Every structure is written in structure tokens, then in C-alpha cells.
Amino acid sequence: MKRKGFRFYLRIYFKILAQDLKSKMSYRADFIISTVGMIFTNIAGFVSFWIMFRNFPSISGYSYHEMLFLYGFSLLSVTPTQCMLDNNWNLRQQVYSGDFIKYCFRPINLFFYYESEIFDAKGLGQLAFGIGTLVYAWAKLGLAVTPLAVLKLLVFLAGASFVMAALQTAAAASCFWIENSFYVLDLAFRFRDYAKYPITIFSPVFRFIFTYIIPIAFIAYYPGMMVLRPSEVSLLSWLSPLIGAVFFYLAYRFWMYGASKFNSTGS
Amino acid sequence: MKLRKYFALTRAGIIESLHFKLGMFVMVIGNLLYLILVYFLWRSIYASAGGGSVNGMTFTDTLIYLVLATALFNFMEMYTVWEIGRNIQSGKIVLDLLKPMSYRRYLFWSYSGGFVTQFFATFLPTFIAVTVLTHGAVPLGINLLWFALSVVLAVMINYSIDFIVGTICLFTESIWGINIMKQVIVLLLSGATIPLAFFPDSLRKIVDCLPFQSIYNAPLTILLQADPTPAEVLPTVAVQLLWAVGLTVVSSLFWKCSLRQITVNGG
């Protein structure tokens, strides 16, 4: 089979996206309520953050606004996963019921086709909230707004977003082997809440674990430091986009391997 | 022998959840990771604040409070809203309504097996872990009895709130959005995310008038008191009892009125 180019996939993506949005619009009430729910989640996260810092001015050397910066960064970093890989949540049922077989017969990349089927528009609310938080923290910290800083932010944000995508994809793929893998996916989902804290609060053992084994420190801390404290970044911060890409590639191979093991339950 | 029919449902629930051993295992791992995060986060928060007690809570108090709040959450989370929502969408609710037991009771007792397995799989291990970790800082005396009573009332309140929210699903056809809103509000305003002692006074006054603090804050505050006299504990328990009875009545009535609204697609 001839390999299809990037432009081909982009065109297909928007075609499928349009279909998905059409079907979402026929459940308008559900869409609005879900979006409000998403905004609720973000507000509650922010309120608990605020309450915590009312009582404690700093956490291991990081001020309120610096923590807010990392918080905004982590929100933006997980947004692509929320919006574009949301169909991973349905994978378990589709493998269980055998409906997954329909994806295997298309002459395009299986992973691409599966994930493109659903675009989670309520993640856009989170995107707006994340941008707001980040801009506010940026202004309050008095960080310089130079083209270089903005470029750095975009590049390292893009790299960081692969990490959550990798964790979620790998967790979802576990359903090819495990019955009732909901808890695995739920666990990966909860990691995003841990991502906003500086890795320095942990003891060395857990620093190692959260850097190399469950790489949540790459969701916000290491890449975020590039913009937040450019003078004291470590090599890991520089490497973070590469590490994100590698993790995502491995997770993708794992997912595809699982899919190749898929035996339909028949119907 | 009236209780026998209820316990038959409990037994079925235990057997069902024991079927998914691996899922249980992942959940225990997830809770362990959460425990680690909470421990290090608050340790560094208290270290930054110079140790001692903040708002009348020491580091150990906060740790016990938050860790057991999570354990209680896992224990009490019955996914009622999801269950009702899904039963409405699939039409299974029609069969449940025909059962010789009120739907409210049927749903509660068919989950009750989960209480037993969750107690042994998550609550008890967490309780032991936190007792060991804090070198026996959890007072083990008469307060445990009050705590048990308080948790029973909390389960009733929590279930009633869930049932009210689930009933709303009859009208909205949105499950995710409704459920996430409920979860966010309950977790924040009940003190499960941040102990209520840290809330600003004005917010605290509002929260005290709401039923949510009776779910997590009430039992956990009781647990942290060493050898409380009945006079100290009774007001808290009395408030819980009022909410439990009130919300039970409200949720039953609301369900009865709403049942006329039911539309089920197909069968």
C-alpha cells in the first residue's frame, strides 16, 4: 500500500471532524451542560489552589504566581489529549463488544482513524482557561515578552503535550489485554492533577520515578522551567520535547501492537 | 426475614466486584501514588511555612484528614449517577422499575456489595498505612465508634445527593456534564480536596450551611478527636442526621414526581 501524505490526512481529519460536530449539535443540551461542567472543574481547581496559597505564601521556593504559571502550563499541555484523543475512553467498550473491527478495514492509519472520530470540543473551555491563567501569571511575574520567549513557550508546550498523550494512549491500549481496564485509564487521567507541582517537592526516589518511569514531570515542570526560570534549567528541560516525542512514539507502537492482537468477538 | 432480599443483592455485588481483581489492584496502586503525592506536597508546604500548626491543623492532622478523605471517597463513590443515566439510555430502567422493590432501594442494595469489597480493598489498607506512616497519630478509642456512625450517615447523605442528581438525568439526557459538576462541588465543598479549616471565614460560613460538609468533614473531624465526650460529637452527628433524613425524603419525592417524565427509546 502506498503511504499517504500529511496533506491527505489533514484533509480527512477535517472531514471526519465536521461529521462529529454535526452529530454533537443534535445533542445540544448535552454539549452545553458538558462544557459548563468542564468550566466548573477548572474553577474548582483554581479555587482550591487559591485557598491553599491564602494559608501558605510559597511551596518549596516557588511563589504563588510561579505555581500559577505551572498550573496554567499543565492545563494547556493536557488540552490536546483532552480534545483529540478522547475516543480512547471508548476503546474498552468497543473492543469488548467487537465494534472495534470496523476500524480495521479502512485503508488509512488505524490509530489516526480511531482517534479522529471524536473531537472533544469541551476541551476548548480548558484551553481558554489555561491561556488566561498563563497570561495572568506571566504578567504578574513580570517575565519579558520577547519573540524568543513566546517561541520557547510554544515549542516546549508542544513537546510537553506529547507526554500526557503518551500516558493516556498507553493506558487505553491496556484494554487489549486486560478486562475492565477502566481503572488503568482513570489512573492515567488522575496524573494530570499531579503534573502541576514542581518535582523538587519529592524525595530523590520519587523524583526518579516521576521523571523516568511515569514521566509526569515532563507535562509541566521541566518544559515550564524553560520560560519560568531560564537561568537555572537542567539538561532535562532542554531535552523535554524530544523525550515527549519518544514516549508518544512508544505508546503509539504499543497501541498498534495491541490492535494487531485484537480478535473480534464476532457478532 | 425482610432483610434477606437486600443481602442477596449485597452478595451478588461482592461476587461481581471480586471478578475484576486486576482492576482492584490498579486502583490500590493509584491510591498509593496519590498518597505519596499528598504526603510530599503537604510536607513541603508545611516546611515552607516553618512547621508547626496552621489554622489549628498540624502536618500529621492534614495528612490523615486528606488521605482518609480519599479513602472515604473510594468507599462511598457508587457511580449512582452513571448507573441511572446509563439505565435510562439503554432502557434497562424499565425492567428495574418492575422489580418488587422501590428503585431507590434496589439501586442502593445492588451496589452495597461494593461497600464490603471497597472497605477491605482500599479503606482498611489506607487506614493502616496512614497509621503506620504517622506513627500511630490516629487516636484509637471511642472516637472510632462515633466515626463509624458518622460514616453511615455520610453514606446516606451522599447517596441521596447522587440520587437527586441522577434523577436530573431524566430531564437532561446528559450524564458526563451533570456528574462532573456534582463531583466537583461535593469534593471541594465537603473538604475532601482541602480541609475546611483552611477555608476563609466567609466561605466557611456558607459551606457550613450546606449538606456537603457532612459527607467528609464531619466524620474526619470526629476521627481526629482523641476521646471525645458525647457533648462534643453530638451536634455534628445531629446535623448529619437532619441532612440524612431531609435529603432522603426530598430525593424519594423528586424521583416519584419525575418518573412520569420518563421516555425510553425502544426496549
**ipTM, interface predicted TM-score of the complex:** 0.78
User: How far is A240 from B129, CA to CA, in rounded Å?
Assistant: 35
A1 pLDDT band (50/70/90 cuts)? very low
Domain chopping of chain A, boundaries: 6-260
**Per-residue pLDDT at B86:** 81
Return the sign of the alpha-carbon dihedral for residues A215, A219, A220, A222. positive
The listed range with the strongest mean pLDDT (A82-86, B7-11, B169-173) is: A82-86
Chain A residues close to B198, C-beta within 8 Å: 51-52, 54-55
Res. B53 pLDDT band, cuts 50 70 90:
confident
B244-266 burial, b at 16+ Cβ within 10 Å, e below that, comes to beebbeebbebbeeeeeeeeeee
Query: Does residue B267 have a pLDDT over 70?
Result: no
**Chain B neighbors of A30, CB-CB under 8 A:** 172-174, 176-177
Mean pLDDT of chain B: 83
Question: What pTM was estimated for this model as a whole?
Answer: 0.83
Check A197 against B180: CB less than 8 A apart. Answer: no
Burial of residue B59 (number of CB atoms within 10 Å: 0-12, 13-18, 19+):
buried
Contact B36 A206 (CB under 8 A): yes
**Mutate which of A62, A167, A201 to disrupt the B interface (most B C-beta within 10 Å)?**
A201
Residue A166 near residue A251, CB atoms below 8 Å: yes
Mean pLDDT, chain A, integer: 86
Q: Percent of chain A at pLDDT above 70?
A: 97
Q: What is the mean pLDDT of residues B236-258?
A: 92
Provide the pLDDT for residue B240: 93
CA-nearest residue to B51 within chain A is A56
Q: How many CB pairs under 8 A join A and B?
A: 114
Q: C-alpha grid cell for residue A49?
A: 489552589
Q: Which of B70, B79, B174, B207 has the highest number of chain A CBs within 10 A, making it the mutation to test binding with A?
A: B174
A contacts of B173 (beta carbons < 8 Å):
27, 29-30
Task: Check residue A264 and give its pLDDT.
Answer: 62
The single-letter code of the amino acid at B42 is: W
Is any Cβ of chain A less than 8 angstroms from the Cβ of B140?
A: no
Is pLDDT of B262 > 70?
A: no
Query: Residue A265: what pLDDT?
Result: 55
What lies within 8 Å, CB to CB, of B158 at 6+ separation is: B76, B78, B186, B215
Q: What is the pLDDT of residue B241?
A: 94
Pairwise CB contact (< 8 Å): B172 & A186: no
* Residue of chain A whose alpha carbon sits nearest to that of B199: A51
Give the whole-angstrom CA distance, residue A58 versus residue A52.
10
Q: What percent of chain A has pLDDT over 90?
A: 20
Task: Give yes or no for a contact between A76 and A156, defined as CB atoms under 8 angstroms apart.
Answer: no
**Is residue B101 within 8 angstroms of chain A, CB to CB?**
no
Tell whether the model's pLDDT for residue B250 goes beyond 90: yes
pLDDT at B15 over 80: no
Closest CB to A55 among B40, B55, B174: B55
Chain B contact probe: residue of A41, A54, A59 with most B CBs at under 10 A = A59
> Using a CB-CB distance cutoff of 8 angstroms, which residues of chain B are in contact with residue A60?
44, 47-48
Residue in A closest to B175 by C-alpha: A30
Query: pLDDT grade, residue B20 (50/70/90)?
Result: low
- Closest of A182, A166, A17, A20 to residue A91, by C-alpha: A182
Tell me which residue has cell 504517622.
B134
Give dist(CA B41, CA B58) in Å, integer.
14
Name the pLDDT band for A165 (thresholds 50, 70, 90): very high
Q: What is the pLDDT of residue A181?
A: 76
Do B188 and A182 make contact, defined as CB atoms within 8 angstroms? Answer: no
